Amino acid sequence: MPLAYQFRPGKGLASLEVTTLPSRALRPHEVRVAVRAVSLNYRDILIYRGEYPAPSDRAVIPCSDGAGTVVEAGSEAGRSLAVGDEVVGSFFPHWRDGAPSREGIAVSAGCNVDGWLAEEVVVDSRFLVRLPRGMAHATAACAPCAGVTAWVAMFESAQLKPGAWMLVQGTGGVAMWAARLAEARGIKTVVIGSDPTKAALMQPAGRTFVNYLDRPTWSEDVLQLTQGHGADLVLELGGKSTIRESLRALAFGGHVAVIGGLGGWTYDSMEYLQLITKMATAHGIYVGSARSLADLLAFVDEHHVEPHISARFSFRDAPAAFEALEAGRHVGKLVIELA
Ligand SMILES: NC(=O)c1ccc[n+]([C@@H]2O[C@H](COP(=O)([O-])OP(=O)(O)OC[C@H]3O[C@@H](n4cnc5c(N)ncnc54)[C@H](OP(=O)(O)O)[C@@H]3O)[C@@H](O)[C@H]2O)c1
């Protein structure tokens, strides 16, 4: 019987354990996938701490992001996917395409329905995306949460064009994806972070870095680096600890993609007047649809974008991967690979 990890939302990392799951018969639209790679996200920490929206109290298989090979297809699934196809799961198993809806975001993999940290998963084929030919499972497995969030914020919401300025915060998964996509699209990026060595790993030469620990009023540096223009898009990941400087760093008519809360989720230091006088737009982003994931992977394939993977772990060492995520020394993504 295939092995799977499970944890209990709200019960801490100590609740993570390996279990065996009985193989069950497929429903018509389902496929069975042999998992090859899984990536971690900061949300996995929030889930086991009980700080994530849409909680569940039953044990779930963690991780929204996984890719693998179809090993069995249900009677209806066989029309779109075949045994041997390489696939990646979408973050929201009920949001295929089009505008977001309450129903579409009601369940997310690895939170209130099972995720991908298992040797084998059974999923609805309609919410899987086929990998572009030759794409590594690890590359695809980095995309569903962090990659799609950056993609939606940059190109669906803010509709950034080449030559625009973007500000990213830190060197984690979302920040790294944004920097890599920006590079491919000719968007100029300022990275604020705690460590220039980490930032260098996701920055080719020519990109600009400001240390937010040394420069608490880093918006001044961003304005200077952009010759007074400011950032056309701020990917707001720090939340409470960054929002004030983010709005000060924003260009006239700019966008703030409201995404994260690494420094706390209350936005009590927000200066609304900055939004008003800059006629700016603040847009809540909550990952995206399977369609956005497919669009992102097509772009990644066409432009040869490679996500930065800090470390790779075996399935057996999955607990160490979560500990590494908590330690926050990674740049970009942490990946668990299965044979
Ligand atoms: N709304 C959504 O759809 C969505 C989707 C994905 C993620 N998120 C959220 O976005 C945030 C980032 O997620 P992730 O998975 O990319 O995280 P991650 O990979 O764990 O990245 C963490 C990195 O962010 C930086 N950081 C830590 N505290 C910070 C602070 N107070 N201000 C600025 N940067 C800080 C650090 O980099 P340095 O040491 O280099 O500074 C740290 O290594 C989280 O809050 C997550 O919940 C939201």
pLDDT in 10s for each residue of the chain, 339 residues? 999 999 999 999 999 999 998 889 999 999 999 999 999 999 999 999 999 887 778 899 999 999 999 999 999 997 889 999 999 999 999 999 999 999 999 999 999 999 999 999 999 999 999 999 999 999 999 999 999 999 999 999 999 999 999 999 999 999 999 999 999 999 999 999 999 899 888 877 557 899 999 999 999 999 999 999 999 999 999 999 999 999 999 999 999 999 999 999 988 888 999 999 999 999 999 999 999 999 999 999 999 999 999 999 999 999 999 999 999 999 999 999 998
- In 106-245, the DSSP E strands lie at 120-124, 128-130, 165-169, 188-193, 208-211, 231-236
Could you tell me if the CB of 257 is within 6 A of ligand 1? no
d(CA 152, CA 293): 9
| Number of domains present in the structure of the chain | 2
Residues 6+ apart with CB under 8 A from 71: 32, 33, 34, 83, 120
Q: Does 266 reside within a domain?
A: yes
Q: Judge residue 212's burial from the number of C-beta atoms within 10 Å of its C-beta, 0-12 exposed, 13-18 middle, 19 or more buried.
A: buried
Tell me if residue 215 falls in helix, strand or coil: coil
Q: Does 58 reside within a domain?
A: yes
CATH code assigned at 59: 3.90.180.10
Whether the CB-CB separation of 257 and 236 falls below 8 Å is answered with: yes
**14-36 b/e (C-beta count within 10 Å ≥ 16 → b):** eebeeeebeeeebeebbbbbbbb
Could you tell me if the CB of 32 is within 6 A of ligand 1? no
Q: Does 159 reside within a domain?
A: yes
Q: Is 258 in the same domain as 312?
A: no
Whether the CB-CB separation of 117 and 4 falls below 8 Å is answered with: yes
Q: Is 25 in the same domain as 53?
A: yes
- Which domain covers residue 228, as residue numbers? 147-284
Q: Is 276 in the same domain as 166?
A: yes
Q: Does 36 reside within a domain?
A: yes
- Among protein residues, the one whose CA lies closest to atom 46 of ligand 1: 260
Whether the CB-CB separation of 57 and 9 falls below 8 Å is answered with: yes
d(CA 38, CA 40): 7
Could you tell me if the CB of 145 is within 6 A of ligand 1? yes
Q: Does 300 reside within a domain?
A: no
Q: Is 10 in the same domain as 130?
A: yes
Q: Does 290 reside within a domain?
A: no
Could you tell me if the CB of 157 is within 6 A of ligand 1? no
**What's the pLDDT score for residue 269?**
86
Ligand 1: residue of 262, 285, 326 to mutate (most ligand atoms within 8 A of CB) is 262
Q: Does 289 reside within a domain?
A: no
Q: Calculate the alpha carbon distances from 46 to 8, 111, 150, 223, 336 in Å.
A: 12, 10, 19, 33, 19
